[in-house]
Chains A and B, each alone.
Chain A
Amino acid sequence: MSDTPPSPSTRYPAGGQAFPHKDLTGISDLPPWQILYLLDEAEQWVALNRQRNKHVDVLAGLTIINAFFENSTRTLLSFEIAGKRLGADVVNMHAAQSSVKKGETLIDTATTLNAMRADAIVIRHASSGAVRLIADKVDCPVLNAGDGRHEHPTQALLDALTMRQWMRSRGSEEFTGLKVAICGDILHSRVARSNVLLLTALGADVRVCAPPALMPAAIEQMRVSAYTNFDEAIDDVDVVMMLRLQNERMSGPFIPSAREYRHLYGLTQTRLKRAAPHALVMHPGPMNRGVEIDSDVADHLERSAITTQVEMGVAIRMACLDVLTRRARGIEGWEALS
């Protein structure tokens, strides 16, 4: 892996013009260069996270609230670590078991968090569009940690950072023409949508693969090619990104059984041979080993980037928290948005 990440300062507009958004609610709001800006910003945190002392004080004195209206372990932990490594006070609100259950509306919860003077709010919610709804009602930056089937922008960014690190180790960092297959429950996946938006924006050749019942209508309109045959979908691809199949969808309404799913859509060693010889294997986790991905593929030292994805996740979230709080911190050149 190269040791000389590009310097963000030379490639982007000065100051706040580099990222003129209050919130990060979706990749769909970002032109390609703003995506690259966040990736470049994350490089410094990748480096920091690999040192013994992983702490800086850039967000000292700021309060970050992680409001998770839907259960999460990994993403919540990743955001919590990211905030703490930057020196912020991080509070987790497990809204799945809170007053939301008592009938308080989402807007009231948002207003409450706002009144507590959070400096950034990270939100996960089971309904598409819920994060945008809150973002419009609060003063501080809002980061989308997943809203329904809509978007999960930090996941797509960390996936892109993972791919770019891998490409760099192979002597390139150009997404144009990179062949990526995203396979699994595309219909219900916010990870798939954000990745499709990000990768197509950067010029990658994206294929999505799912059984018909789990393929969204008109997905081709998002500039991808759609496959129901997994073998055809991964033919000669550079990256195979597997998605988690939710337990409740495994037997019955959408697909007959876990073993039939593995038979048709599981990533096995044999199947992986159809991809390019160097192909990278990714999975946002948590995995169903032996269902969508076999253990020998998931744990393959050269091919699997699954743990790298987790590592990049912390760096990306640090970058997003840093960039989005610059206006509040009065960083030079980062004036308030009009």
Chain B
Amino acid sequence: MKPMAPLTITGGKLLTGSGEPTAGAIRCEGDHITAVGDVAAQDGDRTVDAKGKIVMPGIIDLGVFEIDKPAFHFGGVTRAALMPDQPPPLDYPARVRFAASFGKPDFWVHPIAAATRGLEGNELPELGLMKDAGAKAVSSGRKWITDSGVMLRVLQYAAMLGLPFISHAEDAGIAGGAVATDGETATRLGLASAPAEAEALAVMRDVTLAEMAGAHLHIRQVTTAAALDIVRKAKDRGVRVTCGVTPAHFMLSDIAVNGFLTFARLSPPLRAESDRRAVLAALADGTIDVVASGHDPRGPEDKRLPFADAAPGMAGAETLLPLTLQLVRDGVIDMTRMAQLLCVNPAKILGVPAGRLEAGLEADIAIVDPDRPWIVDSDRMEAQAGNTPFDKQPVQGRALALFKGGMDVKV
């Protein structure tokens, strides 16, 4: 491949990851950013005029189930951390190595190693070798490790390797078999449900064990007021705990499943309105560190089923950016914080040199029109399947251009 000419993006508002958008330009050579701010294009540069739009780091989607490039590129995502719940699970170094190279060159996958063999919750896999093969974190996947002894040993091992542990916080004893959260909706529909406290219990245990082990715990989705309180207090104590959420849990409450809508069957399930409001508050006060898509495209064979028989999950890569921008429009967060939630913090947690517009970092850049209106249409999505609970909903914000390592993905 012949070397690319340096790239200069001018005329945009730079959302670098520290501070609100400011007018400026950015110049990249090879696959790295070389200058940010008051820079001019040099002779022979490819120049792109951002026309006053936002120029921000490519989104790093922390915790997806499928490498679905067209959907990620549509959504301004340049990197994704892949959950270990793959067929077969990412519990073997060769699988991790394959996953790590899967999206290159125009998309980077950061594999998350399975915390236990086959994600069964019993035996340790070769975490050290998987780290060398490219794993950036360790996770129990969609499940919670029920055996606290196993969990402690995994956390100690992850701490020794310097890998964060990404947990799914639902107490299996209470939430086992549940497909909805306790409340009027589940009771009226006759859906097996579990109390919201199932999440708080799991978070409390995981935080306690992580603190003992000195591990970095990242809870991929915290969706209830009680569990957010536990995270908030743990952070105040100085525990290395971070947490995330997906837009579904700050946009929707459990009433969205009325009519047995399987596109709204998620794990953890959609919660009560009071919990949704607690999530908004936690996004505003900094308790929540990451917003991710949880991208999990599922076709009709998984979704056109009775609610309890349908697979959980939603295709979220395309709606991640506009729905997070909605938080900015609603005054919940500012643009700086949005960049932290989507780019800066995920990069920090995974330990990858990206997520900011800064000289020396990988040139992963998105040009975003934060106001551009469009309508989500599950029949016409880039994703492998259109299972979105936001079908037919008008949204605002779209990635107009995307560069991965200085290379044009779409312009």
> Which A residues fall within an 8 A CB radius of B?
28, 105-107, 125, 127-130, 132-133, 147-151, 190, 193, 216-219, 221-222
Task: State whether A148 and B306 are in contact (beta carbons under 8 Å apart), knowing that A128-B189, A128-B190, A128-B260 are contacts in the complex.
Answer: yes
Taken together as a complex, chains A and B put the C-alpha atoms of A148 and B304 apart, in Å, by 17
Q: How far is the CB of A111 from chain B (nearest CB, A)?
A: 11
Does B308 touch A at the CB level, under 8 Å? yes
Q: How far is the CB of B220 from chain A (nearest CB, A)?
A: 25
Residue of B nearest to A219 (CB): B187
Does B60 touch A at the CB level, under 8 Å? no
Task: State whether A218 and B182 are in contact (beta carbons under 8 Å apart), knowing that A129-B189, A193-B188 are contacts in the complex.
Answer: yes
| Interface size classification for chain B | 20 to 34
Task: State whether A127 and B306 are in contact (beta carbons under 8 Å apart), knowing that A105-B301, A133-B260 are contacts in the complex.
Answer: yes
Does B214 touch A at the CB level, under 8 Å? no
Does B186 touch A at the CB level, under 8 Å? yes
Taken together as a complex, chains A and B put the C-alpha atoms of A130 and B309 apart, in Å, by 10
Q: How far is the CB of B191 from chain A (nearest CB, A)?
A: 6
Are A128 and B307 closer than 8 Å at their CB atoms? yes
Give chain B residues whose Cβ lies under 8 Å from the Cβ of A127. Answer: 306-309
Give chain B residues whose Cβ lies under 8 Å from the Cβ of A193. Answer: 187-188, 190
Does B305 touch A at the CB level, under 8 Å? yes
Are A222 and B190 closer than 8 Å at their CB atoms? no
Cβ proximity bits B295-325 to A, threshold 8 Å, 1 near / 0 not: 0000001001111110000000000000000
Task: State whether A222 and B309 are in contact (beta carbons under 8 Å apart), knowing that A105-B301, A105-B304, A128-B260 are contacts in the complex.
Answer: no
Give chain A residues whose Cβ lies under 8 Å from the Cβ of B308. Answer: 127-129, 148
Taken together as a complex, chains A and B put the C-alpha atoms of A130 and B310 apart, in Å, by 11
Please name 29 pairs of A and B residues whose Cβ atoms are closer than 8 Å in the assembled complex, sorted by A: A28-B188, A105-B305, A106-B305, A106-B306, A127-B308, A127-B309, A128-B190, A128-B191, A129-B191, A129-B260, A129-B308, A133-B260, A133-B306, A148-B190, A148-B308, A149-B190, A149-B192, A193-B188, A216-B193, A217-B182, A217-B183, A217-B186, A217-B187, A217-B193, A219-B187, A221-B187, A221-B188, A222-B184, A222-B188
Knowing that A128-B306, A148-B308 touch, tell me 18 more A-B residue pairs with CB under 8 angstroms: A28-B188, A107-B304, A125-B306, A127-B306, A127-B309, A128-B307, A129-B308, A132-B259, A147-B306, A149-B191, A190-B190, A193-B187, A193-B190, A216-B193, A218-B182, A221-B183, A222-B184, A222-B187
Q: How far is the CB of B197 from chain A (nearest CB, A)?
A: 11
Taken together as a complex, chains A and B put the C-alpha atoms of A334 and B178 apart, in Å, by 42
Q: How far is the CB of A222 from chain B (nearest CB, A)?
A: 7
Does B353 touch A at the CB level, under 8 Å? no
Task: State whether A129 and B301 are in contact (beta carbons under 8 Å apart), knowing that A217-B183, A222-B184 are contacts in the complex.
Answer: no
Give chain B residues whose Cβ lies under 8 Å from the Cβ of A148. Answer: 190, 306, 308
Residue of B nearest to A130 (CB): B306
Does B360 touch A at the CB level, under 8 Å? no
Give chain A residues whose Cβ lies under 8 Å from the Cβ of B306. Answer: 106, 125, 127-130, 133, 147-148
Top 7 A-B pairs, shortest CB-CB distance: A129-B260, A127-B306, A149-B190, A217-B182, A150-B190, A221-B184, A130-B306
Most buried by A among B184, B187, B192, B260: B187
Residue of A nearest to B196 (CB): A217
Does B373 touch A at the CB level, under 8 Å? no
Give chain B residues whose Cβ lies under 8 Å from the Cβ of A105. Answer: 301, 304-305
Does B351 touch A at the CB level, under 8 Å? no
Taken together as a complex, chains A and B put the C-alpha atoms of A107 and B262 apart, in Å, by 14
Taken together as a complex, chains A and B put the C-alpha atoms of A149 and B308 apart, in Å, by 11
Taken together as a complex, chains A and B put the C-alpha atoms of A190 and B190 apart, in Å, by 7
Give chain B residues whose Cβ lies under 8 Å from the Cβ of A219. Answer: 187
Give chain A residues whose Cβ lies under 8 Å from the Cβ of B192. Answer: 149
Which residues from 191 to 213 on chain B have a C-beta closer than 8 Å to any C-beta of chain A?
A: 191-193, 195
Are B190 and A132 closer than 8 Å at their CB atoms? no
Taken together as a complex, chains A and B put the C-alpha atoms of A218 and B190 apart, in Å, by 12
Are A150 and B189 closer than 8 Å at their CB atoms? yes
Taken together as a complex, chains A and B put the C-alpha atoms of A221 and B272 apart, in Å, by 14
Q: How far is the CB of B303 from chain A (nearest CB, A)?
A: 11
Q: How far is the CB of A280 from chain B (nearest CB, A)?
A: 26
Residue of B nearest to A134 (CB): B306
Residue of A nearest to B195 (CB): A217
Taken together as a complex, chains A and B put the C-alpha atoms of A231 and B26 apart, in Å, by 76
Give chain A residues whose Cβ lies under 8 Å from the Cβ of B188. Answer: 28, 193, 221-222
Q: How far is the CB of A146 from chain B (nearest CB, A)?
A: 10
Residue of B nearest to A149 (CB): B190
Taken together as a complex, chains A and B put the C-alpha atoms of A107 and B309 apart, in Å, by 13
Are B189 and A218 closer than 8 Å at their CB atoms? no
